[in-house]
Amino acid sequence: MRIIGFLLLILIPFLSPAAEFEIFQSGYQPLKLAWMSDADGADAADLKTIHGIVANDLQSSRSFMVLNPFSYLADIGQVRKSVDYGDWRIIGTDILAFTHLRKAGAQWNADIEVHDPFRNKLLSKITLTYNGASIRPLAHYIANYIYRAATGIPGYFDSHILYVSKHGKTADLVYMDQDSANRQLVGRNFTLLLSPDLSPDNNLVALNTYVDNHPRLETFDLSLGQRRTFGDFQGLNSTPAWSPDGRYIAATLSYTGYTQLHLFDTKTRKWSQLTHHKGIDTSPSWSPDGKHIAFTSDRSGTPQVYKIRLSDGKVDRISMEGPYNTSPAWSPTGDRIAFIALKNWQYALATMRDDGSDVHYLITGGQVDSPTWAPNAQMLLFSRTVEGVRRVYRVPSWGGVAEPLTSAREDASDPVWSH
């Protein structure tokens, strides 16, 4: 959770959750995709599973609209021999993709081709080789390949999501595939758990937990299940954020009497103060090149997004629209920052350039919090509370309908996308 909630309560005590999303549409049109597959030496059930996962990955990205196979004018046996682009232009196909799967023992080979019918062009082809007990990774690799061949952007379908699941007075860490499959409880029974952040190698989680009603900062090893304290000062110990190289963790501490940003060096195990101001500085987010940190500060009188240049400590205000802008999350591509704003006195998920220009409001309504980017910066996760129910959602970075990834029966928050 990365909002300065106590300031919000002072500013807008009358704010209430909206019952529905308000969507800020961008006019983006997905590519119409014809997707086909067949197999030799594989069970029909495995082929159906792989085909379905690939279709779901590409459709859920909102970059594609998978066409109904009943509209196809040729079958995969025909297109494997020769592609008649005219057949696919007739039904408006922007991208034709197909794979022929071959299984021998535990090894899979996937021959993939991606075509552009309107340019009469083979965009890309490859044979992927895969050995694994589960076929899900193979399906995600196929979807990644099609996505990149069609858009020029790397796919994210083999990535994972970490989030906090709260129950009663304790909380768990849940790790799942980006499509919400394979949910695993990786950390159990924390006494309050806030602001988890994954290390660049996805092995460690920096987090804010409480011990004997006192906040402290810990790292949690996902593979070993081990916890290690790295911040246990008087006052606040919160909002940890890993540097892109994994050496430093930026966090919020208040032991000096003021709530400021500090840096923890994971090699020397020493802290240094980063910001020096009598206001509140919190919620750090690193630029992908490691040269700047975006953060929230009330130094202007209301919560706004700032950035600090690490080479000389120069601080600049970024957000310029509205009375409330918090929880910055720098995109992996470095060109945009997601944040939480107020739009018409409702919480809103928005993005902007790192100079504060070109603000896009994506979602408003309910209590929106904790934005985090997909590894390719084409999708955002966030948590949202409506009528007391908190869930994790995803939405394209250009706007559209938000899709819940967690159940309404679960109190889910603080999502983090793997790198």
Domain with residue 383: its CATH number is 2.120.10.30
221/302 same-domain check: yes
275/209 same-domain check: yes
Nearest by Cα to 351 from 364, 367, 362: 362
pLDDT band at 25 (very low <50, low <70, confident <90, very high): low
CA distances to 138, 287, 294 from 290, rounded to whole Å, are 33, 5, 11
pLDDT band at 24 (very low <50, low <70, confident <90, very high): low
The answer to whether residue 13 is domain-embedded is no
57/184 same-domain check: no
CA–CA gap between residue 98 and residue 96 (Å, rounded): 7
- Of the three residues 116, 151, 186, the one that is the final residue of a domain is 151
The answer to whether residue 18 is domain-embedded is no
Tens of pLDDT, residues 316-357: 999 999 999 999 999 999 999 999 999 988 999 999 999 999
The mean per-residue pLDDT over the stretch 385-390 comes to 92
Q: Which of 185-189, 296-300, 381-385 has the lowest mean pLDDT?
A: 185-189
Nearest by Cα to 406 from 178, 152, 110, 131: 178
The answer to whether residue 301 is domain-embedded is yes
**Domain extent for 260:** 160-417
CA–CA gap between residue 149 and residue 95 (Å, rounded): 10
Instruction: Please work out, in degrees rounded to the nearest 5, the angle formed at the alpha carbon of residue 267 by the alpha carbons of 263 and 268.
Output: 75
239/292 same-domain check: yes
The whole-chain average pLDDT of the chain stands at 93
Tens of pLDDT, residues 33-51: 999 999 999 999 999 999 9
Neighbours of 174 (CB within 10 A): 20
Task: Say yes or no to pLDDT of 11 above 50.
Answer: no
Give the CATH number of the domain where residue 87 resides: 3.40.50.10070
CA distances to 17, 88, 357, 359, 397 from 339, rounded to whole Å, are 18, 41, 13, 10, 12
The answer to whether residue 11 is domain-embedded is no
Task: Say yes or no to pLDDT of 14 above 60.
Answer: no
Tokens of 338: 């997601």
- Of the three residues 120, 151, 182, the one that is the final residue of a domain is 151
Give pTM, 2 decimals: 0.92
Neighbours of 178 (CB within 10 A): 24
Tens of pLDDT, residues 75-93: 999 999 999 999 999 999 9
* 392 bridge partner residues: 383
410/364 same-domain check: yes
The mean per-residue pLDDT over the stretch 185-193 comes to 91
131/37 same-domain check: yes
The answer to whether residue 2 is domain-embedded is no
With 0-12 / 13-18 / 19 or more C-beta atoms within 10 angstroms meaning exposed / middle / buried, residue 324 is buried
146/164 same-domain check: no
The SS3 of residue 136 is: helix
pLDDT band at 27 (very low <50, low <70, confident <90, very high): low
Counting the structural domains of the chain, the total is: 2
86/171 same-domain check: no
184/100 same-domain check: no
321/177 same-domain check: yes
Conformation bin of residue 356: beta by default, left when phi > 0, alpha when psi is -120 to 50: left
- Of the three residues 127, 151, 175, the one that is the final residue of a domain is 151
Cα 9 from chain centre: 27
* Interior/surface letters 122-160, b for 16+ CB within 10 angstroms, e for the rest: ebeeeebebeeeebbebbbbbbbbbbbbbbeeebbbbbb
328/202 same-domain check: yes
The answer to whether residue 59 is domain-embedded is yes
The answer to whether residue 307 is domain-embedded is yes
The SS3 of residue 387 is: coil
The answer to whether residue 1 is domain-embedded is no
Label the pairing between strands 22-23 and 260-265.
unpaired
Longest dimension (CA), the chain: 73
147/211 same-domain check: no
